[in-house]
Amino acid sequence: MQLYNKLSAQERAEMLEAAGTERLTLSFYQYAHIGNPQLFRDHLFVSWDPLEVLGRIYVAHEGINAQLSVPAPLFDKFKAHLDSISFLEGVRLNIAIEQDLKSFLKLTIKVRDKIVADGLDDDQFDVTQKGIHVNAQKFNELLDNDNTICVDMRNHYESEIGHFKGAVTPDVDTFRESLPIIEEDLADHKEDKNLVMYCTGGIRCEKASAYFKHKGFKNVYQLEGGIIEYARQVKNQVLENKFVGKNFVFDERRGERISEDIIAQCHQCGAPCDSHVNCINEACHLLFIQCDSCAEKMNECCSDACKEIVALPEEAQKALRKGTHNSNKIFKKGRSKVLKFKQ
């Protein structure tokens, strides 16, 4: 029985184009005790593959974190399967604001130690003692309160293209780095300020809010459903939108526009731009912001060196890549020395 994806991204993209079926991009998470994550992972793959579900899903003993897309005509069947799983029945689904046929090109379900790499020892505090969940209207009210400190729990490359007005945006590469920095910076306000947190879909705030309450913060709030749900409520309820720019998303779209503001710059020339791309050189694949002009000038590369490599025949490029390995340890997202404007 097939328990893994067999098609390449190119093959899948061609199939999606040919089918032309509308797809829904969505995400959800749930903390729950999963006794056998590998068995649960296999069950999900066997159940979702026939439904043509595509996406990136992490399963661990502590729960599930999923970003995926599903054919719109099969959504009800997909939802029925979720509801058949006791701890996922009625789980909140964050439906994307902007839909894209090719937001995901593979079904990848992985077993991990944790569904979010937070670096925390969960035995040291009660992860169920979370902050108060607030909707978009209440979140706006809290932002208007002078007694509130709003903190972005995302990484630098996410907040760079969009964030809430007045939010603290830690200049960090990973979620785990932000926790001690925020605790130290706000140490004098554990009792006299409202600590209000937000992230993309809410999952990072679930753990972070419990962590900060454990550390002595008295008034802890989190935006329920994250930026994705906030944008939906603002639109449906005609509320003031306090988010400026784009919401970074972890699929092929790389961003959803929440407001028309462009608050970032091209990392190569400094022109106003908030479009993330990956360097076309497969031996690099650095994530950075590039405007259309620089994309044409640099042949979609991050540097002259990469531009020279992609001009080589494919076989020569493969030979150069042999034995090398890409990872965030080598290429920090948007932090490379070749990005002159970013420096």
What tokens appear for 185 in the block? 């910076």
Residue 257, beta-bridge partner list: 246
**Residue given tokens 């809430």 in the structure block:** 164
Q: What angle do CA 264, 268, 271 make, to 5 degrees?
A: 45
CA 107 to chain centre: 17
The set of catalytic residues is: 199
Residue 274, CB half-sphere, CA atoms under 13 Å: how many?
22
Q: What is d(CA 275, CA 206) in angstroms, rounded to the nearest whole number?
A: 28
User: For 108, phi and psi rounded to 5 degrees?
Assistant: -120, 115
Residue 227 · residue 128 · CB < 8 Å: no
DSSP conformation class of 130: P
Smallest Cα–Cα separation from 103: which of 14, 13, 21, 41? 13
> What are the counts of helices (DSSP H) followed by strands (DSSP E) for the chain?
11, 14
* Cα 290 to Cα 97: distance, rounded to the nearest angstrom: 23
Q: How far apart are CA 298 and CA 306, in angstroms?
A: 9
* C-beta separation of 23 from 99 below 8 A: yes
Q: Which of 166, 153, 261 is nearest to 208 (CA)?
A: 153
